[in-house]
Amino acid sequence: MSSPKIFLFDFDGVIVDGMHEYWHTSLLACERYLNSPNISVDQKLYKRVPNSFKEIRPWVKYGWEMILIVHEIIKTENPLRNHNKDYFINNYYGNCQRILNDNSWIAEDLQKILDKSRKYQIDKDFKSWVNLHNPFFEVINFMKSLNKREIKTGVITTKGEIFAEKLLNELNIFPEFIFGYESGTKIEIAEKLTQTYEILGFIEDRKKTLINIKQNSETSHIPCFLADWGYLKESDRYNFNNEIKLLKLSNLEELVAI
């Protein structure tokens, strides 16, 4: 008996643009739950996302890192701005670790604070929270067209599973499964899925994740597509081989003919 066919999707940056939500939620987390003496929150900050945050976003791997970035942007002393942004980016992971150490923070605790901030917004005004996201309707239509062809869809995200599910329900999308950060790394999840499914492709906007999948012997056969419309570094658009393909929204429907 043949294995069921499935197509895998990242969530934020692939199915929805959650840039404004991540900024808003991280800012609220800093204001309500972080208890840092080094920041000052102006309510005007909630109205627009700073360019510095947008430009650092492609380096982010886990949600809790957003709180660190927002904290640095709204610091009262030597805040993160365009003039020192490149310095921060050039040693991104080292700087994240330094900020954790300087403040005696634990990454897992920051993730809980981020989730707490999301839950607060959902409980207070669910519709307003949903409206902080901009869906990529081309992707949503593609997911629906796959289902019509009896190809299942699955979502693997570093967002909390419950929050991704709430948004997908609002978009009338019901994948076979949703794996959040609670389920482990994307490569671990993909490896387990290969035991049950024939994976026709994985669409992701973090190139390093796709490279890791291709370098793992258990998952190297999975067709990998880098979402051109996602949160990409400029360098991500170059130096491709046949292992990973750069995918544009306009080319999604071509994948249905697999």
pLDDT of residue 242: 74
Residue-level pLDDT, tens digit, the chain, 258 residues: 689 999 999 999 999 999 999 999 999 999 999 989 999 898 999 999 999 999 999 999 999 999 999 999 999 998 998 889 999 999 999 999 999 999 999 999 999 999 999 999 999 999 999 999 999 999 999 999 999 999 999 999 999 999 999 999 999 999 999 999 999 999 999 999 999 999 999 999 999 999 999 999 999 999 999 999 999 998 998 887 778 999 999 999 888 765
Asked whether 213 and 222 are in contact (CB, 8 A), the reply is yes
Query: Could you tell me the two tokens for 178?
Result: 């949703």
Angle subtended by helix axes 92-103 and 64-73, to nearest 10:
80
pLDDT of residue 257: 64
Nearest Cα neighbor of 208 from 231, 192, 229 is 231
Q: Are strands 198-204 and 5-9 parallel, antiparallel or unpaired?
A: parallel
User: Between 3.40.50.1000, 2.60.40.10, 3.40.50.850, 3.30.830.10, what CATH number should domain 5-17+134-257 receive?
Assistant: 3.40.50.1000
pTM of the model: 0.92
Give CA–CA dist 172/125, Å, rounded. Answer: 20
pLDDT of residue 238: 85
pLDDT of residue 239: 80
Q: Which residue has the tokens 């999975």?
A: 222
Q: Write down the domain spans for the chain.
A: 5-17+134-257, 19-130
Asked whether 210 and 224 are in contact (CB, 8 A), the reply is yes
Q: Which amino acid is at 236?
A: D
Q: What is the DSSP letter of 246?
A: E
